[in-house]
Amino acid sequence: MKEYWTSLASLLGVFAFCQTILQTVFPPELRFASIKLFNRIFHCFSSYCFFDITEIDGVNTNELYNAVQLYLSSSVSITGNRLSLTRAVNSSGFTFGLANNDSIVDTFNGVNVVWEHVVTQRQAQTFSWRPLPDEKRGFTLRIKKKDKSLVLNSYLDYIMEKAGEIRRKNQDRLLYTNSRGGSLDSRGHPWESVPFKHPSTFDTLAMDPEKKKEIMEDLQDFANGQAFYHKTGRAWKRGYLLYGPPGTGKSSMIAAMANYLGYDIYDLELTEVHNNSELRKLLMKTSSKSIIVIEDIDCSINLTNRKNNNNASASSTSYYDSEMRGGGGAGCGEDGGNSITLSGLLNFTDGLWSCCGSERIFVFTTNHIEKLDPALLRSGRMDMHIFMNYCSFPALKILLNNYLGCQEGDLDDAVLNDLEAVVNVARMTPADISEVLIKNRRKKEKAVGELLETLKLRAELNKKSGLLRVKNEVEEEEEEQEKRALDSESPKHESEIEDNCKEGEEEEEEDVEEKIK
Ligand SMILES: Nc1ncnc2c1ncn2[C@@H]1O[C@H](COP(=O)(O)OP(=O)(O)OP(=O)(O)O)[C@@H](O)[C@H]1O
Ligand SMILES: [Mg+2]
Protein backbone atom coordinates (compact mmCIF):
# COMPACT_ATOMS: atom_id res chain seq x y z
CA MET A 1 0.00 0.00 0.00
CA LYS A 2 2.84 2.33 0.95
CA GLU A 3 4.51 1.70 -2.42
CA TYR A 4 1.31 2.52 -4.19
CA TRP A 5 1.07 5.95 -2.53
CA THR A 6 4.74 6.67 -3.26
CA SER A 7 4.35 5.95 -7.00
CA LEU A 8 1.14 8.05 -7.19
CA ALA A 9 2.94 11.02 -5.55
CA SER A 10 5.86 10.80 -8.00
CA LEU A 11 3.39 10.56 -10.95
CA LEU A 12 1.64 13.72 -9.78
CA GLY A 13 5.02 15.42 -9.45
CA VAL A 14 5.91 14.53 -13.05
CA PHE A 15 2.50 15.78 -14.23
CA ALA A 16 2.96 19.14 -12.43
CA PHE A 17 6.48 19.49 -13.89
CA CYS A 18 5.21 18.84 -17.46
CA GLN A 19 2.38 21.34 -16.97
CA THR A 20 4.82 24.06 -15.86
CA ILE A 21 7.06 23.35 -18.87
CA LEU A 22 4.02 23.48 -21.23
CA GLN A 23 2.84 26.79 -19.75
CA THR A 24 6.31 28.29 -20.08
CA VAL A 25 6.86 27.07 -23.65
CA PHE A 26 3.30 27.71 -24.99
CA PRO A 27 1.77 31.06 -23.98
CA PRO A 28 -2.09 30.97 -23.41
CA GLU A 29 -2.96 32.38 -26.88
CA LEU A 30 -0.89 29.72 -28.57
CA ARG A 31 -2.41 27.00 -26.44
CA PHE A 32 -5.95 28.08 -27.41
CA ALA A 33 -4.99 28.23 -31.08
CA SER A 34 -3.46 24.75 -30.96
CA ILE A 35 -6.64 23.32 -29.37
CA LYS A 36 -8.68 24.95 -32.15
CA LEU A 37 -6.32 23.55 -34.76
CA PHE A 38 -6.55 20.11 -33.23
CA ASN A 39 -10.37 20.35 -33.26
CA ARG A 40 -10.37 21.38 -36.93
CA ILE A 41 -8.12 18.49 -37.92
CA PHE A 42 -10.35 16.15 -35.92
CA HIS A 43 -13.54 17.47 -37.59
CA CYS A 44 -11.99 17.17 -41.07
CA PHE A 45 -11.48 13.50 -40.62
CA SER A 46 -14.65 12.90 -38.63
CA SER A 47 -17.70 11.53 -40.43
CA TYR A 48 -19.98 13.75 -38.29
CA CYS A 49 -20.92 17.40 -38.43
CA PHE A 50 -22.13 19.48 -35.50
CA PHE A 51 -24.65 22.31 -35.17
CA ASP A 52 -24.76 24.57 -32.15
CA ILE A 53 -28.10 26.09 -31.22
CA THR A 54 -27.51 28.60 -28.45
CA GLU A 55 -30.22 29.88 -26.12
CA ILE A 56 -29.40 33.52 -26.82
CA ASP A 57 -28.61 34.62 -30.32
CA GLY A 58 -26.84 37.95 -29.92
CA VAL A 59 -29.32 39.77 -27.71
CA ASN A 60 -32.45 37.95 -28.84
CA THR A 61 -33.81 34.71 -27.53
CA ASN A 62 -33.27 31.98 -30.09
CA GLU A 63 -36.67 30.56 -30.99
CA LEU A 64 -35.09 27.38 -32.30
CA TYR A 65 -33.53 26.65 -28.89
CA ASN A 66 -36.94 26.84 -27.20
CA ALA A 67 -38.47 24.72 -29.94
CA VAL A 68 -35.79 22.02 -29.62
CA GLN A 69 -36.24 22.01 -25.86
CA LEU A 70 -39.98 21.46 -26.22
CA TYR A 71 -39.59 18.94 -29.02
CA LEU A 72 -37.12 16.85 -27.04
CA SER A 73 -39.35 17.02 -23.98
CA SER A 74 -41.75 14.53 -25.56
CA SER A 75 -39.12 11.87 -26.35
CA VAL A 76 -36.98 12.59 -23.31
CA SER A 77 -39.88 11.89 -20.94
CA ILE A 78 -40.00 8.34 -22.28
CA THR A 79 -36.33 7.42 -22.53
CA GLY A 80 -34.30 9.64 -20.21
CA ASN A 81 -32.98 8.61 -16.79
CA ARG A 82 -32.17 12.09 -15.56
CA LEU A 83 -34.64 14.78 -16.56
CA SER A 84 -35.16 18.42 -15.82
CA LEU A 85 -38.74 19.39 -15.00
CA THR A 86 -40.29 22.81 -15.55
CA ARG A 87 -43.66 24.41 -15.35
CA ALA A 88 -43.92 27.59 -17.42
CA VAL A 89 -46.05 30.61 -16.55
CA ASN A 90 -49.62 30.12 -17.87
CA SER A 91 -48.93 26.44 -18.38
CA SER A 92 -51.26 23.80 -17.05
CA GLY A 93 -48.74 20.97 -17.33
CA PHE A 94 -45.14 20.03 -16.59
CA THR A 95 -42.44 19.98 -19.25
CA PHE A 96 -39.68 17.39 -19.23
CA GLY A 97 -36.27 18.40 -20.45
CA LEU A 98 -32.85 16.98 -21.11
CA ALA A 99 -30.66 17.45 -18.01
CA ASN A 100 -27.53 19.59 -18.30
CA ASN A 101 -24.79 18.05 -20.46
CA ASP A 102 -26.89 14.97 -21.12
CA SER A 103 -27.55 13.61 -24.60
CA ILE A 104 -30.28 11.72 -26.41
CA VAL A 105 -30.62 9.94 -29.75
CA ASP A 106 -33.52 10.90 -32.01
CA THR A 107 -34.58 9.29 -35.29
CA PHE A 108 -36.00 11.18 -38.24
CA ASN A 109 -36.83 9.54 -41.58
CA GLY A 110 -34.71 6.55 -40.56
CA VAL A 111 -31.69 8.74 -39.79
CA ASN A 112 -30.18 8.79 -36.29
CA VAL A 113 -29.13 12.13 -34.80
CA VAL A 114 -27.72 12.94 -31.37
CA TRP A 115 -28.76 15.94 -29.32
CA GLU A 116 -26.59 17.14 -26.45
CA HIS A 117 -27.67 19.80 -23.98
CA VAL A 118 -24.53 21.84 -23.29
CA VAL A 119 -24.51 24.10 -20.25
CA THR A 120 -21.41 26.08 -19.29
CA GLN A 121 -20.75 28.96 -16.91
CA ARG A 122 -20.70 32.34 -18.63
CA GLN A 123 -17.23 33.90 -18.31
CA ALA A 124 -17.13 37.63 -17.64
CA GLN A 125 -20.37 39.62 -18.14
CA THR A 126 -19.93 41.26 -21.53
CA PHE A 127 -21.70 44.53 -22.30
CA SER A 128 -25.33 43.94 -23.17
CA TRP A 129 -28.57 45.93 -23.25
CA ARG A 130 -30.14 43.38 -20.97
CA PRO A 131 -28.59 41.21 -18.24
CA LEU A 132 -27.60 37.79 -19.54
CA PRO A 133 -28.08 34.59 -17.52
CA ASP A 134 -25.07 33.22 -15.60
CA GLU A 135 -25.16 30.03 -17.62
CA LYS A 136 -24.62 29.63 -21.34
CA ARG A 137 -27.04 27.05 -22.65
CA GLY A 138 -27.28 25.44 -25.99
CA PHE A 139 -28.01 22.26 -27.87
CA THR A 140 -25.49 20.54 -30.09
CA LEU A 141 -26.90 18.47 -32.90
CA ARG A 142 -24.60 15.73 -34.18
CA ILE A 143 -25.43 14.16 -37.53
CA LYS A 144 -23.58 12.10 -40.10
CA LYS A 145 -22.17 14.31 -42.88
CA LYS A 146 -23.95 12.25 -45.52
CA ASP A 147 -27.34 12.93 -43.87
CA LYS A 148 -26.75 16.66 -43.52
CA SER A 149 -28.95 17.86 -46.37
CA LEU A 150 -31.77 15.45 -45.65
CA VAL A 151 -31.92 16.47 -42.02
CA LEU A 152 -31.51 20.19 -42.56
CA ASN A 153 -34.13 20.42 -45.28
CA SER A 154 -36.97 19.08 -43.25
CA TYR A 155 -35.89 18.10 -39.74
CA LEU A 156 -35.69 21.61 -38.32
CA ASP A 157 -39.07 22.57 -39.84
CA TYR A 158 -40.52 19.42 -38.37
CA ILE A 159 -39.14 20.33 -34.94
CA MET A 160 -40.63 23.85 -35.11
CA GLU A 161 -44.02 22.44 -36.05
CA LYS A 162 -44.00 19.75 -33.35
CA ALA A 163 -42.88 22.27 -30.73
CA GLY A 164 -45.79 24.54 -31.65
CA GLU A 165 -48.20 21.64 -31.21
CA ILE A 166 -46.75 20.72 -27.82
CA ARG A 167 -46.86 24.35 -26.71
CA ARG A 168 -50.51 24.67 -27.63
CA LYS A 169 -51.38 21.42 -25.89
CA ASN A 170 -49.56 22.29 -22.67
CA GLN A 171 -50.24 25.95 -22.44
CA ASP A 172 -53.55 27.57 -21.67
CA ARG A 173 -54.91 29.93 -24.31
CA LEU A 174 -53.77 33.51 -24.02
CA LEU A 175 -55.95 36.56 -24.39
CA TYR A 176 -54.03 39.55 -25.70
CA THR A 177 -55.22 43.10 -25.51
CA ASN A 178 -53.84 46.41 -26.76
CA SER A 179 -55.45 48.39 -23.94
CA ARG A 180 -52.13 50.13 -23.14
CA GLY A 181 -52.88 52.46 -26.04
CA GLY A 182 -49.80 51.96 -28.18
CA SER A 183 -47.10 51.88 -25.49
CA LEU A 184 -44.68 48.96 -25.53
CA ASP A 185 -43.71 46.63 -22.71
CA SER A 186 -40.09 45.94 -21.63
CA ARG A 187 -39.69 43.39 -24.45
CA GLY A 188 -40.99 45.88 -27.03
CA HIS A 189 -44.31 44.08 -27.30
CA PRO A 190 -47.46 46.14 -27.85
CA TRP A 191 -49.84 43.43 -26.56
CA GLU A 192 -50.57 42.56 -22.95
CA SER A 193 -51.63 39.01 -22.26
CA VAL A 194 -53.57 37.15 -19.61
CA PRO A 195 -54.43 33.44 -19.45
CA PHE A 196 -57.64 32.83 -21.34
CA LYS A 197 -59.89 30.57 -19.30
CA HIS A 198 -63.30 31.12 -20.90
CA PRO A 199 -65.21 27.85 -20.49
CA SER A 200 -67.48 28.32 -23.53
CA THR A 201 -67.29 25.45 -26.00
CA PHE A 202 -69.35 24.40 -29.00
CA ASP A 203 -71.06 21.87 -26.69
CA THR A 204 -72.30 24.59 -24.36
CA LEU A 205 -73.14 27.09 -27.12
CA ALA A 206 -76.89 27.28 -27.60
CA MET A 207 -77.68 27.50 -31.30
CA ASP A 208 -79.13 25.48 -34.11
CA PRO A 209 -77.11 22.20 -34.17
CA GLU A 210 -76.88 22.16 -37.97
CA LYS A 211 -75.51 25.67 -38.13
CA LYS A 212 -73.11 24.81 -35.34
CA LYS A 213 -71.89 21.74 -37.21
CA GLU A 214 -71.36 23.80 -40.36
CA ILE A 215 -69.24 26.33 -38.46
CA MET A 216 -67.19 23.63 -36.75
CA GLU A 217 -66.50 21.93 -40.08
CA ASP A 218 -65.52 25.22 -41.62
CA LEU A 219 -63.06 25.89 -38.79
CA GLN A 220 -61.61 22.41 -39.05
CA ASP A 221 -61.21 22.74 -42.82
CA PHE A 222 -59.42 26.01 -42.29
CA ALA A 223 -57.05 24.63 -39.66
CA ASN A 224 -56.17 21.63 -41.86
CA GLY A 225 -56.03 23.66 -45.05
CA GLN A 226 -52.37 24.67 -45.30
CA ALA A 227 -51.81 22.71 -48.52
CA PHE A 228 -55.08 23.97 -50.04
CA TYR A 229 -54.31 27.63 -49.34
CA HIS A 230 -50.80 27.19 -50.67
CA LYS A 231 -52.02 25.47 -53.84
CA THR A 232 -54.67 28.08 -54.57
CA GLY A 233 -52.36 31.01 -53.85
CA ARG A 234 -54.58 32.39 -51.11
CA ALA A 235 -53.37 33.85 -47.83
CA TRP A 236 -54.07 31.34 -45.06
CA LYS A 237 -56.68 33.34 -43.19
CA ARG A 238 -60.42 33.35 -42.74
CA GLY A 239 -62.91 36.01 -41.73
CA TYR A 240 -66.10 35.53 -39.75
CA LEU A 241 -68.67 38.23 -39.18
CA LEU A 242 -70.90 37.51 -36.18
CA TYR A 243 -74.00 39.65 -36.01
CA GLY A 244 -77.20 39.68 -34.02
CA PRO A 245 -78.86 41.25 -31.00
CA PRO A 246 -76.95 41.64 -27.70
CA GLY A 247 -76.83 38.49 -25.56
CA THR A 248 -77.18 35.98 -28.37
CA GLY A 249 -73.70 34.50 -27.88
CA LYS A 250 -71.33 36.30 -30.24
CA SER A 251 -68.55 36.61 -27.67
CA SER A 252 -69.29 33.09 -26.40
CA MET A 253 -68.89 31.86 -29.98
CA ILE A 254 -65.42 33.47 -30.23
CA ALA A 255 -64.37 31.75 -27.01
CA ALA A 256 -65.76 28.44 -28.29
CA MET A 257 -63.79 28.88 -31.56
CA ALA A 258 -60.56 29.53 -29.63
CA ASN A 259 -61.10 26.55 -27.35
CA TYR A 260 -62.02 24.33 -30.29
CA LEU A 261 -58.93 25.15 -32.37
CA GLY A 262 -56.56 25.85 -29.48
CA TYR A 263 -55.82 29.35 -30.79
CA ASP A 264 -54.92 32.46 -28.80
CA ILE A 265 -57.17 35.51 -29.02
CA TYR A 266 -56.07 39.04 -29.86
CA ASP A 267 -58.81 41.38 -28.73
CA LEU A 268 -58.13 44.46 -30.84
CA GLU A 269 -59.48 47.61 -29.22
CA LEU A 270 -59.65 49.92 -32.23
CA THR A 271 -60.41 52.98 -30.13
CA GLU A 272 -56.93 52.60 -28.56
CA VAL A 273 -55.20 52.61 -31.97
CA HIS A 274 -54.26 56.05 -33.17
CA ASN A 275 -53.35 55.53 -36.81
CA ASN A 276 -52.92 52.98 -39.56
CA SER A 277 -49.22 52.46 -38.99
CA GLU A 278 -49.88 51.68 -35.32
CA LEU A 279 -52.52 49.21 -36.43
CA ARG A 280 -50.04 47.62 -38.82
CA LYS A 281 -47.43 47.25 -36.05
CA LEU A 282 -49.99 45.67 -33.77
CA LEU A 283 -51.14 43.19 -36.36
CA MET A 284 -47.57 42.32 -37.34
CA LYS A 285 -46.93 41.33 -33.73
CA THR A 286 -49.72 38.77 -33.67
CA SER A 287 -48.71 35.15 -33.87
CA SER A 288 -50.05 32.54 -36.23
CA LYS A 289 -52.77 30.18 -35.00
CA SER A 290 -54.66 33.05 -33.48
CA ILE A 291 -58.03 34.76 -33.66
CA ILE A 292 -57.98 38.52 -34.11
CA VAL A 293 -61.21 39.94 -32.76
CA ILE A 294 -62.76 43.34 -33.26
CA GLU A 295 -65.95 43.56 -31.22
CA ASP A 296 -68.69 46.01 -32.17
CA ILE A 297 -66.99 46.92 -35.42
CA ASP A 298 -69.84 49.30 -36.34
CA CYS A 299 -68.90 51.55 -33.42
CA SER A 300 -65.15 51.55 -34.14
CA ILE A 301 -65.37 52.10 -37.88
CA ASN A 302 -68.08 54.74 -37.61
CA LEU A 303 -65.72 56.79 -35.52
CA THR A 304 -63.11 57.04 -38.26
CA ASN A 305 -65.53 57.29 -41.14
CA ARG A 306 -67.16 60.23 -39.44
CA LYS A 307 -63.77 61.89 -39.43
CA ASN A 308 -63.26 61.15 -43.10
CA ASN A 309 -66.73 62.31 -43.92
CA ASN A 310 -66.10 65.68 -42.37
CA ASN A 311 -63.32 66.17 -44.83
CA ALA A 312 -65.16 64.63 -47.72
CA SER A 313 -68.44 65.86 -49.06
CA ALA A 314 -71.40 65.13 -46.84
CA SER A 315 -73.12 63.15 -49.53
CA SER A 316 -70.39 60.60 -50.12
CA THR A 317 -70.05 58.35 -47.14
CA SER A 318 -69.12 55.08 -48.74
CA TYR A 319 -65.80 53.32 -48.44
CA TYR A 320 -65.22 53.53 -52.18
CA ASP A 321 -65.54 57.32 -52.16
CA SER A 322 -63.33 57.91 -49.16
CA GLU A 323 -60.84 55.40 -50.57
CA MET A 324 -60.54 57.27 -53.87
CA ARG A 325 -60.05 60.58 -52.15
CA GLY A 326 -57.62 59.31 -49.52
CA GLY A 327 -55.56 57.32 -51.98
CA GLY A 328 -56.19 54.13 -49.99
CA GLY A 329 -53.73 52.01 -48.10
CA ALA A 330 -52.59 52.09 -44.55
CA GLY A 331 -51.37 55.37 -43.26
CA CYS A 332 -52.94 57.34 -46.10
CA GLY A 333 -55.83 58.81 -44.13
CA GLU A 334 -56.85 62.29 -45.20
CA ASP A 335 -56.12 63.61 -41.78
CA GLY A 336 -52.45 62.93 -42.28
CA GLY A 337 -52.49 59.52 -40.63
CA ASN A 338 -53.97 60.64 -37.32
CA SER A 339 -56.71 58.04 -37.30
CA ILE A 340 -57.24 54.54 -38.57
CA THR A 341 -59.27 54.18 -41.70
CA LEU A 342 -61.38 51.35 -42.95
CA SER A 343 -58.93 50.88 -45.78
CA GLY A 344 -56.10 50.49 -43.27
CA LEU A 345 -58.03 47.74 -41.56
CA LEU A 346 -59.03 46.06 -44.80
CA ASN A 347 -55.40 46.00 -45.91
CA PHE A 348 -54.93 43.44 -43.20
CA THR A 349 -57.98 41.37 -43.86
CA ASP A 350 -57.42 40.91 -47.56
CA GLY A 351 -54.71 43.27 -48.79
CA LEU A 352 -51.02 42.56 -49.20
CA TRP A 353 -50.50 42.63 -45.46
CA SER A 354 -52.96 39.83 -44.92
CA CYS A 355 -50.27 37.28 -45.70
CA CYS A 356 -47.90 38.52 -42.99
CA GLY A 357 -48.25 35.68 -40.53
CA SER A 358 -50.40 32.73 -41.44
CA GLU A 359 -53.26 30.68 -40.09
CA ARG A 360 -55.09 33.60 -38.65
CA ILE A 361 -58.78 34.09 -38.19
CA PHE A 362 -60.41 37.51 -38.16
CA VAL A 363 -63.69 37.82 -36.28
CA PHE A 364 -65.74 40.99 -36.35
CA THR A 365 -68.89 41.30 -34.27
CA THR A 366 -71.73 43.76 -34.53
CA ASN A 367 -75.25 44.27 -33.27
CA HIS A 368 -76.12 46.29 -36.38
CA ILE A 369 -75.04 44.70 -39.63
CA GLU A 370 -76.99 47.30 -41.60
CA LYS A 371 -74.64 50.01 -40.30
CA LEU A 372 -71.54 48.33 -41.70
CA ASP A 373 -69.75 49.65 -44.72
CA PRO A 374 -70.51 47.52 -47.80
CA ALA A 375 -66.76 47.12 -48.36
CA LEU A 376 -66.55 45.11 -45.18
CA LEU A 377 -69.36 42.78 -46.21
CA ARG A 378 -67.90 42.00 -49.59
CA SER A 379 -67.08 38.35 -50.13
CA GLY A 380 -63.46 37.48 -49.52
CA ARG A 381 -63.30 39.94 -46.65
CA MET A 382 -65.60 38.15 -44.28
CA ASP A 383 -65.85 34.61 -45.59
CA MET A 384 -68.75 33.61 -43.40
CA HIS A 385 -71.58 35.74 -42.06
CA ILE A 386 -73.03 34.12 -38.95
CA PHE A 387 -76.35 35.36 -37.66
CA MET A 388 -76.73 34.83 -33.91
CA ASN A 389 -80.45 34.80 -33.39
CA TYR A 390 -82.93 34.88 -30.51
CA CYS A 391 -83.26 31.54 -28.73
CA SER A 392 -84.85 28.81 -30.84
CA PHE A 393 -86.23 25.51 -29.54
CA PRO A 394 -83.10 23.43 -30.34
CA ALA A 395 -80.98 26.13 -28.66
CA LEU A 396 -83.31 26.13 -25.65
CA LYS A 397 -82.79 22.38 -25.22
CA ILE A 398 -79.03 22.97 -25.04
CA LEU A 399 -79.53 25.64 -22.36
CA LEU A 400 -81.81 23.32 -20.36
CA ASN A 401 -79.08 20.71 -20.47
CA ASN A 402 -76.34 23.22 -19.54
CA TYR A 403 -78.09 24.77 -16.57
CA LEU A 404 -80.45 22.06 -15.28
CA GLY A 405 -78.86 18.91 -16.65
CA CYS A 406 -82.12 18.09 -18.50
CA GLN A 407 -81.42 15.48 -21.15
CA GLU A 408 -83.74 14.43 -23.97
CA GLY A 409 -86.67 12.61 -22.35
CA ASP A 410 -86.19 14.10 -18.86
CA LEU A 411 -89.02 16.58 -19.33
CA ASP A 412 -92.68 15.80 -20.00
CA ASP A 413 -93.70 15.93 -23.63
CA ALA A 414 -96.48 18.36 -22.72
CA VAL A 415 -94.00 20.81 -21.15
CA LEU A 416 -91.69 20.48 -24.13
CA ASN A 417 -94.55 21.14 -26.52
CA ASP A 418 -95.53 24.25 -24.55
CA LEU A 419 -91.96 25.52 -24.61
CA GLU A 420 -91.66 24.86 -28.33
CA ALA A 421 -94.92 26.70 -29.02
CA VAL A 422 -93.84 29.94 -27.35
CA VAL A 423 -90.06 30.13 -27.57
CA ASN A 424 -89.86 31.57 -31.09
CA VAL A 425 -92.63 34.10 -30.51
CA ALA A 426 -91.11 35.21 -27.20
CA ARG A 427 -87.92 36.39 -28.95
CA MET A 428 -85.78 36.03 -25.84
CA THR A 429 -82.02 35.92 -26.11
CA PRO A 430 -80.04 32.95 -24.73
CA ALA A 431 -78.61 35.41 -22.18
CA ASP A 432 -82.13 36.28 -20.91
CA ILE A 433 -83.11 32.62 -20.73
CA SER A 434 -79.88 31.73 -18.91
CA GLU A 435 -80.74 34.31 -16.26
CA VAL A 436 -84.12 32.69 -15.59
CA LEU A 437 -82.61 29.19 -15.44
CA ILE A 438 -79.63 30.09 -13.28
CA LYS A 439 -81.88 31.54 -10.58
CA ASN A 440 -83.57 28.21 -9.88
CA ARG A 441 -80.91 25.83 -11.10
CA ARG A 442 -81.22 23.61 -8.02
CA LYS A 443 -84.98 23.14 -8.51
CA LYS A 444 -85.49 21.82 -12.02
CA GLU A 445 -89.28 21.90 -12.10
CA LYS A 446 -89.51 25.39 -10.63
CA ALA A 447 -86.95 26.64 -13.14
CA VAL A 448 -88.80 25.16 -16.12
CA GLY A 449 -92.15 26.44 -14.81
CA GLU A 450 -90.80 29.95 -14.34
CA LEU A 451 -89.17 29.88 -17.76
CA LEU A 452 -92.43 28.84 -19.39
CA GLU A 453 -94.25 31.66 -17.63
CA THR A 454 -91.68 34.23 -18.72
CA LEU A 455 -91.74 32.98 -22.31
CA LYS A 456 -95.53 33.14 -22.41
CA LEU A 457 -95.52 36.66 -21.00
CA ARG A 458 -92.98 37.83 -23.55
CA ALA A 459 -94.86 36.14 -26.39
CA GLU A 460 -98.08 37.80 -25.27
CA LEU A 461 -96.49 41.22 -25.11
CA ASN A 462 -94.91 40.74 -28.53
CA LYS A 463 -98.25 39.75 -30.01
CA LYS A 464 -100.03 42.68 -28.43
CA SER A 465 -97.49 45.12 -29.71
CA GLY A 466 -98.38 43.95 -33.21
CA LEU A 467 -94.77 43.53 -34.08
CA LEU A 468 -95.12 39.96 -35.09
CA ARG A 469 -96.47 39.07 -38.45
CA VAL A 470 -98.28 35.80 -39.06
CA LYS A 471 -95.11 34.22 -40.33
CA ASN A 472 -92.68 32.86 -37.82
CA GLU A 473 -90.14 35.59 -37.17
CA VAL A 474 -87.23 33.30 -36.52
CA GLU A 475 -87.66 31.52 -39.82
CA GLU A 476 -88.00 34.85 -41.55
CA GLU A 477 -84.79 36.17 -40.07
CA GLU A 478 -82.96 33.02 -41.01
CA GLU A 479 -84.15 33.40 -44.59
CA GLU A 480 -82.96 36.98 -44.53
CA GLN A 481 -79.58 35.89 -43.25
CA GLU A 482 -79.19 33.39 -46.08
CA LYS A 483 -80.12 36.11 -48.55
CA ARG A 484 -77.51 38.38 -47.04
CA ALA A 485 -74.84 35.71 -47.31
CA LEU A 486 -75.69 35.30 -51.01
CA ASP A 487 -75.77 39.04 -51.57
CA SER A 488 -72.35 39.43 -50.01
CA GLU A 489 -70.83 37.51 -52.91
CA SER A 490 -71.13 40.66 -54.99
CA PRO A 491 -70.13 44.07 -53.59
CA LYS A 492 -73.09 45.69 -51.89
CA HIS A 493 -73.88 49.31 -52.36
CA GLU A 494 -74.92 51.54 -49.60
CA SER A 495 -78.41 52.01 -50.97
CA GLU A 496 -78.98 48.25 -50.76
CA ILE A 497 -77.86 48.16 -47.17
CA GLU A 498 -80.11 51.06 -46.34
CA ASP A 499 -83.04 49.26 -47.97
CA ASN A 500 -82.48 46.32 -45.69
CA CYS A 501 -82.43 48.48 -42.67
CA LYS A 502 -85.81 48.62 -40.97
CA GLU A 503 -85.20 51.46 -38.64
CA GLY A 504 -88.83 52.26 -37.88
CA GLU A 505 -89.47 48.68 -36.92
CA GLU A 506 -86.42 48.67 -34.71
CA GLU A 507 -87.55 51.72 -32.80
CA GLU A 508 -90.87 50.02 -32.18
CA GLU A 509 -89.03 46.94 -30.97
CA GLU A 510 -87.05 49.04 -28.54
CA ASP A 511 -90.33 50.50 -27.16
CA VAL A 512 -91.63 47.00 -26.56
CA GLU A 513 -88.38 45.95 -24.88
CA GLU A 514 -88.75 48.89 -22.52
CA LYS A 515 -92.35 48.03 -21.77
CA ILE A 516 -91.35 44.47 -20.97
CA LYS A 517 -88.62 45.63 -18.64
N1 LIG B 1 -75.83 31.13 -27.68
C2 LIG B 1 -75.53 31.06 -26.39
N3 LIG B 1 -75.23 29.87 -25.83
C4 LIG B 1 -74.91 29.79 -24.53
N5 LIG B 1 -74.88 30.85 -23.71
C6 LIG B 1 -75.18 32.05 -24.20
C7 LIG B 1 -75.51 32.21 -25.59
N8 LIG B 1 -75.76 33.51 -25.79
C9 LIG B 1 -75.58 34.13 -24.64
N10 LIG B 1 -75.25 33.27 -23.67
C11 LIG B 1 -75.01 33.61 -22.27
O12 LIG B 1 -75.18 35.00 -22.13
C13 LIG B 1 -73.98 35.66 -21.74
C14 LIG B 1 -73.73 36.83 -22.69
O15 LIG B 1 -73.47 36.31 -23.98
P16 LIG B 1 -72.42 36.95 -25.00
O17 LIG B 1 -71.55 37.91 -24.27
O18 LIG B 1 -71.75 35.86 -25.72
O19 LIG B 1 -73.40 37.75 -25.94
P20 LIG B 1 -73.04 38.74 -27.12
O21 LIG B 1 -73.86 38.32 -28.27
O22 LIG B 1 -71.59 38.80 -27.30
O23 LIG B 1 -73.60 40.11 -26.58
P24 LIG B 1 -73.13 41.59 -27.00
O25 LIG B 1 -73.66 41.84 -28.35
O26 LIG B 1 -73.78 42.45 -25.97
O27 LIG B 1 -71.64 41.62 -26.91
C28 LIG B 1 -72.89 34.63 -21.84
O29 LIG B 1 -72.03 34.71 -20.73
C30 LIG B 1 -73.59 33.31 -21.85
O31 LIG B 1 -73.64 32.79 -20.55
MG1 LIG C 1 -70.15 40.33 -27.00
pLDDT of 71 > 60? The answer is yes
- Expressed in angstroms and rounded, the spacing between residue 251 Cα and the centre of ligand 2 is 4
Residues in the chain: 517
| Ligand 1 lined by 205 (C-beta under 6 Å) | yes
Least confident of 11-25, 389-403, 470-484: 470-484
Q: What percent of the chain has a predicted confidence (pLDDT) above 90?
A: 28
The model scores a pTM over 0.80: no
What pLDDT does residue 501 have?
A: 40
| Ligand 1 lined by 366 (C-beta under 6 Å) | no
pLDDT class of 246 with cuts at 50, 70, 90: very high
Does the interface predicted TM-score (ipTM) exceed 0.90?
A: yes
pLDDT of 33 > 50? The answer is yes
Interatomic CA distance for residues 140 and 239, integer angstroms: 42
pLDDT of 233 > 60? The answer is yes
- Amino acid letter, residue 404: L
What pLDDT does residue 184 have?
A: 66
- Expressed in angstroms and rounded, the spacing between residue 457 Cα and the centre of ligand 1 is 22
Residues β-bridged to residue 383: none
Using CA positions, which residue lies closest to atom 18 of ligand 1? 249
- Amino acid letter, residue 113: V
pLDDT of 401 > 50? The answer is yes
Which range has highest mean pLDDT (20-34, 87-101, 274-288, 316-330)? 274-288
Q: Average pLDDT, stretch 460-487?
A: 65
Ligand nearest to the CA of 245: 1
pLDDT of 435 > 80? The answer is yes
Give the number of C-alpha atoms closer than 13 A to the C-alpha of residue 326, restricted to the C-beta side. Answer: 34
What pLDDT does residue 310 have?
A: 43
| Ligand 1 lined by 374 (C-beta under 6 Å) | no
| DSSP characters over 362-377 | EEEEES-GGGS-HHHH
pLDDT tens digit sequence for 341-356: 777 777 777 766 666 6
What pLDDT does residue 122 have?
A: 67
Which range has highest mean pLDDT (163-167, 361-365, 406-410, 467-471)? 361-365
301 compared with 234, residue with greater pLDDT: 234
What pLDDT does residue 72 have?
A: 86
pLDDT of 516 > 70? The answer is no
Closest CA to 289 of 258, 250, 268: 258
Q: Average pLDDT, stretch 232-241?
A: 89
Closest CA to 497 of 316, 365, 372: 372
What pLDDT does residue 29 have?
A: 61
Ligand nearest to the CA of 199: 1
- Expressed in angstroms and rounded, the spacing between residue 287 Cα and the centre of ligand 2 is 23
Least confident of 114-128, 151-165, 252-266, 424-438: 114-128
Other C-beta atoms closer than 10 Å to the C-beta of 323 total 18
DSSP class of 171: B
pLDDT tens digit sequence for 112-164: 899 998 888 766 655 555 555 667 889 999 999 888 887 777 899 899 888 88
Contact 84, 100 (CB under 8 A): yes
pLDDT of 293 > 90? The answer is yes
